Structure 1
C-alpha cells in the first residue's frame, strides 16, 4: 500500500524562518492597508519566499497493514480444576482462537494465569495490555471462573480495548464453606477456647443455595469432642477443651453436601497454644541432704513454677510417747489439705529421699495413687531409704504405681551414668550433650524393674532412670540421690539441669517430649513428615492430600527413634496424617488459601473491569460443552463493544512503514521565479501609478 503526504525540511532554523515570514507578512499587510496596488503581489512574494525556505517535500511511503491483536487469558488456577472447568477453559480458548483467526486481520496471543493460593487476574489483564502495542490491541478475553484475589482493583483497570469475561462455571453450581469468625491463639490448660464460625451454602452470584442446617464436627488433635447441627448462615460458637499444654490442632469440619464443588473449604484448622497459668509443683523432702538444694534451685529459678516445699525434719520415733505427729514439726504439716483436698491442683508431686514418718497414712497414699491414675504426675528421687520397711515401695497403696521395687541396700562406688538403648530413642534423654564426658556418681539403689522404660543405667546395666505411664498419669523413678554431684561439677559434672527439666516436663505431658509423635511441616514446596517412636518399625503413615486422595507413605530412619519422609513439589493446601492413634495436620503454602474461599463462578468480581472498558461478561458453559458469544469488529470510539450474545473487537487499522521517498514539491528556481514575477508586477503597478499622478497635477 502506497500513501503520500506533505512534509517540510526547512533550509534555515525554524525560529529564523518564522521571523522572516512574520516580517514579510507585516510589510505586506501594511502596504495593503496603505492602499498600495502592489500589496497582494508583495504578499504573494512573501509566501513564495516562505515556501522556498520551508523546502516542502512530497513524501511517499510504502506501508504494510498490521493485524489487530486479541489476547486470550486462560485461568489455570487451582479453583479452575474443579468440576472440569480446566477442560472447558481449554476448549473455549481453542474455539475462540479459531473464530478470531476466521475473522481475518487478527493476531491471537494466548496466555495462561496460574495460582495455587490465589488468582491475580486483574494484574494479568493489566500485564497483557502493557505487553501489547496499544495501537494494535483489539480486545482481551479472560476465560475464568471469575474469582480473583485482586478484584478490588478491577474498577481501576485502564484499557484502550474491551475486556470480555467468559465464565466457565455452571449456572446452577453451589458450594458449602465454613468460615472462622473468631478464635484465640492461646488458652489456658484445663480451660476451653471459644471458636466462632459460620457455615454457608453459596450459589451463583453469591446467592444462598439452601436453608436449614449442617452438621459440624469439632476435633482436637484428631479426637472428636463435639458434633452438632448448626443453622446455615448464622454465627455459631463451640467450646474446645484444652486438656494439655503445647500446640493443639483444632479442626472444624462441616459435613459434605452432595453435589457441591469441593470439600476443601468445608474444614477450618487452627493452632491453639495451651499454656499453664502456673506450674504447681509439690516437693516433699525427707531429711535434709546435699541434693535437696538442687531440686529447690531448679524449680525456684523458673518464674512460671509455683513451688510448695516441705521437709520432714525429725522422725516420729524421736518424740516422747504420746506426742502427736503435728507437734514434731516446726510448722503444722497440712497433710490432709495437700494430699486430699488440693492434690489435684498440683501438676507434679516430687518425693525427694522421702521416708515414711507416720505423717501420711494409707488413705493419703491411696489418694496419691488415684491422682496418678487420673492424669497426675509423681517423681520419686530415691536414696538409701528406698530399701527397708519405711520405704515408699513398702506402702501397699502406693507401691503398685512404681515401675521398680528395691532389691537390697544401696550399692556404693563410683560409676558413670549411661544412656540405654531406649534412652537413645526417648526425647527425655536423647541428645543430652557430652555424654562421654559425664562425671561419676557414687551410689545407686538396686531395683527389680517390672514396668516402664529404663532410659539411663548404672554399673552392669542396672536401671538408674525409669519412666512409666500409669492409667492417665505418669511416674518417674530416679534410683540415685547423687545427681547433685553434677550440679557441683564433681569429676566434670553433667547436664543435671537439662535432665531434670526434661524429666519434669515429660511427667507433666509436654508435647515436645512425647516419645510417640507425628508432625507435618511445609518446607517451601515440599512436605516433610516426621515420626518419633520407640519402635524399630513405625509402619507407614496414612496421608490425606488436599485433593482428598489418601496415600500410604513409608518413612526412612534418620536417627534412633526418628523417621522421616519428604514429598517434593507437594500440592499446596492442608494435609492430614495418621499413624495408629497419632494425628497431625500440616500445610504446604497456605493451609486455607484464598483461592478456595469462594469457588462458585461469579461475574461480580471482574464486572467493573468489563464495564470500564465497555466489554461484556458471558457464561459460556452449557452442560459439558461451550457456547461462545458472536464476534464483531467495531470502530474505535464505539459506545459499547458488547451486547446480548456478541463481543466486539476494536478495528485499529495499524500499519508498518517499510520505505519512504521524498521529492521537492517544486524546484527552487520555480519559487525564485515566482518571487521575481510577484515583485516585478508590484513594481510595475506602483510605478505606473506614480508616473500618472504628476501629469494630472500639471494639467490642472
Structure 2
C-alpha cells in the first residue's frame, strides 16, 4: 500500500489563488519582524488555506499481479446441436471441456464468455456455463464477431470455440481484426461424417409449369461406403401408391472411396396444379435418408372457353377484358344464328361456321381450365345429356365453370334436371319465366368477402359498390345448395324457400369450382361508373378476382392454416396458426366454434391436439415431442353446430444436420485472426494457456481521500487565521 497525491477539482483559478496565497505568505514571513512562533503560525494558516483552494486528492494505491484478459467466443449456432462424435452434442462437448479446465483457466486468466450465433450475447464468467445453450439460428460469423468487438475492454487473447460450420457473407478478416487481439480457433465435433449417405445440398425450382419439365439436383456425401451401391430415388406424392409415394426417377452409383461426394440430377414433369410434394431418398444398403420438398405448379397460360348464346355488350366487354391478359389463352364462340332461324343457303355457303358442339363438349373439353356459359340454351341446340355430364365431370375433376344468366339460361335453357344442375350453387326454379327484367343494385353479403372487398379498406369497397350503376335483369331460383356461398343478392326478391335470392354465388364441386352470376349486365359497371374514382375500377377488379377464384389463385376457404415453410426450424414448441371465418368472412366468434384438430406424426398414429384462441378467429396449435419426418395437421370446424370446413397443413421436421467440423474454415479464421488452430478434443488447457502472457504487476487505486474539501478543513483554516490574528494583536504587530 502506498500513498500519492492527485490533482483535485479546483481548476486553474484555484491553483492560481493557492500560489498567490503561498507567495504572499513567504514574502511576508521574509520581511516581517515577528518572532518564529508567529511566523510558524502564519505559514501553517497559509498552507492550510492553499490546500483548501487546491483541494488535492490523497490516493491509496495497491500493487497486484494482473492476469491477462481471455475472451471465449462460444459458438451457439444451430450446427453445434449436432452430434460431437464422442457422446452428446458439440455444444455439450465444448461446455464439458471448459468446465473441466475451469480451475486452471481461472488461475491463469481473467475470463469472460460471449455466445455467438446470428449475433453476440454476453454470458459472463465460466461459472455461468450452466446457463448456456445452443440456439436455432446459424452461426453468422462476420456479423456475430463484429457484434462481439463492441466490448469496452480489449482482451489479451481470444478463443473461438466452434465446429466451423459458419454461414453468411461479409469480410471475416475485418471482423476478426476489430477484436484487437490474437484469435485461436478451437474446433469441436467429428472431422468426418458417420457412416452412410446423406444429402448435403438440394437444388429445386420454386415453381414449375404444368406438364413442363423441371430439374432437381442433390449433392450426396457417402462416408465409409467404398465399393457399396448407393441408390438415390426421386418420388412424387401419390395417395394411390404404396406408402403414399410413386417413384419418378432413380439413379444407382457405386461409391469408389470412403469419403466421396457426388451429384445426382433428375428431370421430371410436373403433373398437378398447386403445391406438388416430392421426396428424395438415398439408400446405402444399411439405412435410408430422405428429404422432402414442394414445388408450386402453375399453368403457363390459363385456357378459357367462352360460349355466349347471343351477341351482347356483356360478351363484348368481358371477352375484351379476358383477351387483354397475356396469361389467358381465350377461345370464344358467340351464337349468331340459332337452329330455328331459317336460312336460304346451306351452311357451306354461309360465312358463319357451324357450331362445333362435338369438339367443345367432347373432344377438347379437358384441354381447358375455365368454361364460361353465358345466356346459352342447351335445349335450343338439343345438347345430349352426355355432353352436360361431360361438363359436370370436367368440374369435378378440377375444372372451373362460370354460368351467366339471361333469358336463355338456367331452366329456360334446359338445365333443370340435367346432370349439370348438380354442380350449380343453386337449385333451379321450376317456374316460368325464371329470368326477370328490371334494374336493381345487388346487395353484397359482406364487404369483407374477398370477391367484394376489391379495395384496400372495407370502407373504400363499400363506397365503390354503393356508387355503381344498377344492373338489369336477374334469375329466379328455388334455393341455394348447402355449402354454397352467396356473394351478393337481389335486395327486393327472395328465393322460393324464402331466403335471399342470389345474384352472385360460388361453390366448390369435387376438385373444381363453380360461379353463378344470374345477370348478363355487368357491362353497365364498365360504362356507367366512369365518373366515380372508386366505382370506375370495380369492373376490372371484380372480374380479375372472379377469374383468380375460378382458376385457384384466390382462396375462399373459411377454415385454413397459415402457410408453413417446407422445413421447420428444429425448436419446440412448434406453432401453427389456424383462422376460422364466419359467413361474411369476419372472424368467427369463439363461443360458436368447435374445432377438432388431429396431428399425425411420422409414425402414422393420429392424435387429437388442442388449440387456443390468440385473436378473434385466430387459433394457435402448439406441438411438442416432435420426431424427424413428415407431419400432418388436420383441422375440422363446426360453427353454430353446422359443418363449416376443413383444412390440412403438412410440414417436415428435420433434426439438425450433422455436418462435420469444417477444419479449413477454422484454420482460415485462425490465420486471419493472428492465432493458431486446435482440435479441442486433442488439446489441453495448459497448451493454450501457455500462449498467454504472464501476469504483470499493476498498480490499482483502491481508495481516494478528499480531506481538503471537507467543512472540517475549512474550519481549521479559519481557526489558524484567527489564532494568527489574535497573537499578532497581542504582540502589538500591525
How far apart are 1:606 and its partner, in Å? 0.8
SS of the residue aligned with 2:563?
Answer: strand
Question: C-alpha distance in 2, partners of 1:218/1:180?
Answer: 19
CA distance in 2, matches of 1:316, 1:606: 84
Q: Deviations over 1:108-155 (max 9, x none)?
A: 233322344321457767887896988x83x54333334233799778
Out of 239, 246, 270, the residue aligned to residue 241 of structure 1 is 270
Aligned match of 1:502: 545
Q: TM-score, normalised by structure 2?
A: 0.61
Deviation at 1:219, TM superposition (A): 4.7
- Alignment partner of 1:579 is 2:634: yes
Instruction: Kindly indicate whether the alpha-carbon contact (under 8 Å) linking 1:184 and 1:194 is maintained by their aligned counterparts in 2.
Output: yes
| CA displacement at 1:284 relative to structure 2 | 1.5
- Structure 1 residues 425 and 574: CA distance shift in structure 2, 3 A: farther
For 1:470 and 1:313, the matched residues in 2 are separated by 32
* Deviation of the 1:575 alpha carbon: 11
Aligned match of 1:18: none
In structure 2, the CA distance between the partners of 1:313 and 1:444, relative to structure 1 (3 Å rule), is same
CA distance in 2, matches of 1:209, 1:173: 17
**Number of the residue aligned with 2:105:** 100
Q: Secondary structure at the match of 1:91?
A: helix
Q: CA deviation at 1:294?
A: 3.1
Counterpart-to-counterpart distance in 2, 1:383 and 1:128: 73
Gaps of 5+ in 2: 3-60, 119-135, 254-261, 456-460, 495-499, 584-592, 636-645, 702-734
Q: Equivalent residue for 1:606?
A: 666
Distance 1:528 1:653, change over 3 A: same
| Alpha-carbon distance, 1:235 to partner | 0.9
Quick one: distance in 2 between partners of 1:258 and 1:375?
41
Counterpart mapping for 1:318-333 below 5 A: 318-319=341-342, 330-333=352-355
Q: What are the residue-to-residue correspondences of 1:11-410 with 2, within 5 Å?
A: 64-83=64-83, 84-85=88-89, 86-102=91-107, 105-115=108-118, 116-121=136-141, 137=156, 139-149=157-167, 161=182, 163=184, 165-168=186-189, 173=194, 177-201=198-222, 212-213=230-231, 217-219=235-237, 226=247, 231=252, 233-237=262-266, 239=268, 241-244=270-273, 248=275, 250-252=277-279, 254=281, 267=291, 269=293, 272=296, 274-319=297-342, 330-355=352-377, 356-358=379-381, 360-362=383-385, 364-386=387-409, 391-394=413-416, 396=418, 398-403=420-425, 404-408=427-431, 409=433, 410=435
| Partner deviation per Cα, 1:72-129 (whole Å, 9 max, x = no partner) | 3322222223443333322322222211234xx5322333223443214577678878
- Tell me: higher relative CO, structure 1 or 2? Use CA pairs within 8 A at least 6 residues apart: 1
Identify if the C-alpha distance between structure 1 residues 228 and 304 changes in structure 2 by more than 3 Å, giving closer, same or farther: closer
The answer to whether the aligner puts 1:453 opposite 2:496 as a matched pair is: no
1:610 Cα deviation (Å)?
4.6
Deviations 1:146-187 (A, max 9, x none): 423379977896787572515255988568643455433343
Q: Secondary structure at the match of 1:80?
A: helix
Q: State the SS of the aligned residue for 1:184.
A: coil
Task: Tell me if structure 2 keeps the 8 A contact 1:65–1:653.
Answer: yes
Rate the CA distance shift 1:333–1:269 in 2: closer, same or farther, 3 A: same
Structure 1 residue 631 displacement after superposition: 0.8
| Aligned residue among 476, 480, 491 for 2:519 | 480
Instruction: Give the distance between the partners of 2:367 and 2:614, measured in 1 at CA.
Output: 40
Return the match for 1:529 from 565, 577, 581. Answer: 577
Aligned residues: 552
Q: Report the counterpart of residue 617 of structure 1 in structure 2.
A: 678
Q: CA deviation at 1:475?
A: 2.6
Q: Is the 8 A contact 1:464 1:479 kept in 2?
A: yes
Give me the whole-angstrom Cα distance separating, in 1, the residues matched to 2:356 and 2:149.
Answer: 82
CA contact (8 A) 1:353 1:382 kept: yes
Q: Distance in 2 between matches of 1:149 and 1:79?
A: 10
Aligned to 2:528: 489
* Per-residue deviation, residues 222-254 of structure 1 (Å, max 9, x unmatched): 985647775574413252525226xx3655454
Residue 110 to residue 527, structure 1, CA distance change in 2 (3 Å): same
Q: 1:383 Cα deviation (Å)?
A: 1.5
Relative distance call for 1:307 and 1:454 in structure 2 (3 A) is same
Whole-Å Cα distance in 2 between the matches of residues 309 and 227 of structure 1?
38
Q: Is the 8 A contact 1:427 1:514 kept in 2?
A: no
The separation in 1 between residues aligned to 2:675 and 2:303, in whole angstroms, is 70
CA contact (8 A) 1:175 1:599 kept: no
CA contact (8 A) 2:198 2:282 kept: no
CA distance in 1, matches of 2:150, 2:543: 66
SS in 2 for 1:498: helix
SS in 1 for 2:101: helix
Which deviates more from structure 2 when the two are superposed, residues 113-122 or residues 84-93?
113-122
Structure 1 vs Structure 2 CA RMSD: 5.2
Contact kept in structure 1, 2:231 and 2:284, CA below 8 Å: no
SS at match of 2:166: coil
Instruction: Tell me, yes or no, if structure 1 residue 629 matches structure 2 residue 684.
Output: yes
1:468 aligns to what? 507
SS of the equivalent of 2:408 reads helix
Distance in structure 2 (CA, Å) of the matches to 1:133 and 1:208: 52
* Cα offset, 1:466, TM superposition: 2.9
Bigger mean CA deviation after superposition, 88-97 or 250-259: 250-259
The answer to whether the Cα contact below 8 Å between 1:365 and 1:395 also exists between their aligned partners in 2 is: no
Q: Provide TM-score, normalisation by structure 1.
A: 0.64
- Give 3-state SS (helix, strand or coil) of 1:74's partner: strand
- Residue-by-residue CA offset, 1:15-49 (whole Å, 9 max, x unaligned): xxxxxxxxxxxxxxxxxxxxxxxxxxxxxxxxxxx
